[in-house]
Chains A and B, each alone.
Chain A
Amino acid sequence: MSIEFNKVSYIYSEKTPFEYAALHDIDLLIKEKKMTAIIGATGSGKSTLVQHLNALLLPSGGKLKVLDFEIVAKEKATNLKALRSHVGLVFQFPEYQLFEETIMKDLCFGPKNFGASDEEAQKKAIHALKLVGLDESYLEKSPLDLSGGQKRRVAIAGILAMEPDILVLDEPTAGLDPQGAVQMMSLFKELNQKYAKTVLVVTHDMEHVLNYCDEVVVMKKGTIYAHTTVKEFFKDTSYLDELHILPPAIVRVRQMLNERGFHLPSDCYDMKQLCSAIAKEVKHHG
């Protein structure tokens, strides 16, 4: 019951002058019930990778196992709809997928497509809307009248209403204000911990990776460059430089202090820990 890529490759516009290989022989095992960040420069294949998870893109080579579903390249895939009900994929800027007259109808759209009755769908819709922090007074409003941030929440609620086991988010916080971004990431963490969902987040924000995720997958030019736990990942800053990744503020502070003569442990990742470590060292010398 996990996600397993086995030598998966993907080529856009195969056999045309515009042919472009986006993924090369990807081997990847994503553990269940973890929150995994996928990072990498633009064009490194992150979006292509996540679109394989609910079979929107089918591999050009290799094979892929998601939950109980197996997708093998060049073989006709069956039961894609069932797979999609288990894997909820939230695209970049998901606001554009809203189309119904009322938010209620839009939230019911997903569950109904997967065979829920009207009553069930409405129940799921109300639950999902509460999860994203909007109250029931929104249900009869038009989704097109909301502000940008609210639209984003409703769009994500539209996926949550399907109650997927795996939630995949492609840059969910892009374009949100810092506070909105933090709320959004906390929501995903809650879904991961309280509802035991497997969460994958494509992101560029290292603070989010450090604060919310358990594991991190680094992509580079269509290959998996690294796959490790978050704590391990931010331990070695020279490695981050190599990837042109600016570490989170707290890691930078620790690193700068260490360069100037401090001896701070490399595994403290929150403000409190770091402060007490600094205080201890100052007292020791004073």
Chain B
Amino acid sequence: MGNFVLGKYLPYDSIIHKMDPRAKILAMLLVLISIFIPAGYLGYAILAVVIVTTVLTAKLSLKFVWKSMKPMLFMLCFLLVVNIFAVKTGDVLIAFGNFEIYSDAVFNTIYIAVRLMLMIMVTTCLTATTKPLDLTLGIEDLLKPFKKVGVPAHEIAMMISIALRFIPTLIEETERIMKAQASRGVDLQEGKLKEKIMAILSLIVPLFVSAFQRAEDLANAMEARGYAPGQRRTRYKQLRFHFRDYMLLVCSAGLVAAVAVLALVL
């Protein structure tokens, strides 16, 4: 569980780490849009080059990025199976008697896989270079314009930051409970179905009990210190745009435009 890397912040020192979280979030959204523009092989090649360059500029190793994609592999395999059964267009690649696998099924899956991988890489670039708290500050600021139409920007940001804050705590807690139950003879790997269900139950019940306990304690602690959600509050950390942040936005907007033009031309 300690090797779970998706969404983990890595404290390196790079230009991307120093950028304003708002700029990074907006840039990420722009790149995500460009990933969804169908611009053929060339478009994805360009995107891949740009994204890999960003990953390397952020001093992240490709191994780390690859690791954060691992949880997706299972989903992709599942998708491949579904596609094989559902998609019946294109050329027949392999035939087992009556059962035929079509080329479009495989291509569709590869297509989705490439998109997913690129998306994960982009989001990893954001989450690995931005402290969770800065990220929520950025989200709060970006949501501010929507306050007029009733979006509770501050509350959303507070909820996100609390959720993010407790992910490592809950992972630690899970590990602790797993170990405690393992000492009592629980074996999560082996055993019959009934034993496995018992094993999972012995993990989930204590986890929920402690999570609710924590939530209650936290709510009380916040109220005791006079927290009121609707209140106007000042902030210790002020976000400021620098030249590099504008450059990032211009570049990502440029990327979207380039891919869009490419898509139109094709």
Residue numbers of A with Cβ under 8 A of B are 12-13, 16-18, 51, 54, 56, 81, 84-85, 88-91, 94, 96-99, 109-110, 112-114, 144, 158-159, 162
A109 to B187, CA, bound (A): 12
- Stretch of B31-39, B88-96, B172-180, B222-230 contacting A (4+ beta carbons < 8 Å): B172-180
Verify A159–B176 contact, CB threshold 8 A: no
Binary A-proximity of B150-186 (CB < 8 A = 1, otherwise 0)? 0000000000000000000000010011011111111
- Which residue of A91, A96, A99, A112 contacts B183 across the interface (Cβ within 8 Å)? A91
Contacts of A90 in B (CB 8 A): 183
A109 to B181, CA, bound (A): 9
Verify B180–A91 contact, CB threshold 8 A: yes
- Which residue of A88, A99, A144, A162 contacts B202 across the interface (Cβ within 8 Å)? A99
A99 to B209, CA, bound (A): 9
Contacts of A162 in B (CB 8 A): 184-185
A12 to B172, CA, bound (A): 13
Verify B185–A99 contact, CB threshold 8 A: no
Given A13-B3, A17-B10, A99-B206, verify A51-B184 contact (CB < 8 Å).
no
A193 to B186, CA, bound (A): 29
- Which residue of A16, A17, A91 contacts B176 across the interface (Cβ within 8 Å)? A91
B110 is an interface residue with CB less than 8 A from chain A: no
Q: How far is the CB of A271 from chain B (nearest CB, A)?
A: 38
Residue numbers of B with Cβ under 8 A of A are 2-3, 10, 173, 176-177, 179-187, 195, 201-202, 205-206, 209-210
Verify B184–A97 contact, CB threshold 8 A: yes
Verify B186–A113 contact, CB threshold 8 A: yes
- Which residue of B187, B195, B201 contacts A99 across the interface (Cβ within 8 Å)? B201
Verify B183–A12 contact, CB threshold 8 A: no
What are 26 A-B residue pairs whose CB atoms fall within 8 Å in the complex?
A: A13-B2, A18-B2, A54-B183, A81-B187, A84-B183, A84-B185, A88-B183, A90-B183, A91-B176, A94-B180, A96-B173, A96-B210, A97-B180, A97-B181, A97-B184, A97-B202, A97-B206, A98-B206, A99-B202, A99-B205, A110-B185, A112-B185, A113-B195, A114-B185, A158-B184, A162-B185
Verify A56–B176 contact, CB threshold 8 A: no
Verify B182–A84 contact, CB threshold 8 A: yes
> Which B residue sits closest to A16, measured CB to CB?
B3
Contacts of B185 in A (CB 8 A): 81, 84-85, 110, 112-114, 162
In the A-B complex, the 9 residue pairs with the smallest Cβ-Cβ separation, listed nearest first, are A113-B185, A99-B205, A110-B184, A97-B180, A89-B183, A114-B185, A56-B179, A96-B206, A91-B180
Central interface residue in B177, B179, B187, B210, by most chain A CB within 10 Å: B179
Verify A96–B180 contact, CB threshold 8 A: yes
Verify A12–B2 contact, CB threshold 8 A: yes
Contacts of B179 in A (CB 8 A): 51, 56, 91
Contacts of B195 in A (CB 8 A): 113
Verify A109–B184 contact, CB threshold 8 A: yes
A32 to B188, CA, bound (A): 31
> Which A residue sits closest to B178, measured CB to CB?
A56
A41 to B185, CA, bound (A): 30
A81 to B186, CA, bound (A): 8
Contacts of A85 in B (CB 8 A): 185
Contacts of A159 in B (CB 8 A): 183-184
A44 to B260, CA, bound (A): 58
A89 to B179, CA, bound (A): 10
A84 to B183, CA, bound (A): 6
A81 to B179, CA, bound (A): 13
Contacts of B173 in A (CB 8 A): 96
A282 to B242, CA, bound (A): 80
Central interface residue in B195, B201, B206, by most chain A CB within 10 Å: B206
Contacts of B2 in A (CB 8 A): 12-13, 18
Contacts of B176 in A (CB 8 A): 91, 96
Contacts of A56 in B (CB 8 A): 179, 182-183
Contacts of A94 in B (CB 8 A): 180
- Which residue of B3, B10, B177, B187 contacts A97 across the interface (Cβ within 8 Å)? B177
A71 to B2, CA, bound (A): 22
A29 to B173, CA, bound (A): 31
A42 to B148, CA, bound (A): 50
Verify B183–A109 contact, CB threshold 8 A: no
Central interface residue in B2, B179, B185, B195, by most chain A CB within 10 Å: B185
Q: How far is the CB of B197 from chain A (nearest CB, A)?
A: 13
> Which B residue sits closest to A91, measured CB to CB?
B180
Given A12-B2, A17-B10, verify A96-B177 contact (CB < 8 Å).
yes
Q: How far is the CB of B1 from chain A (nearest CB, A)?
A: 11
A90 to B181, CA, bound (A): 10
Contacts of B186 in A (CB 8 A): 113
A110 to B210, CA, bound (A): 21
Contacts of A112 in B (CB 8 A): 185
A81 to B187, CA, bound (A): 8
Contacts of A96 in B (CB 8 A): 173, 176-177, 180, 206, 209-210
Q: How far is the CB of B208 from chain A (nearest CB, A)?
A: 9
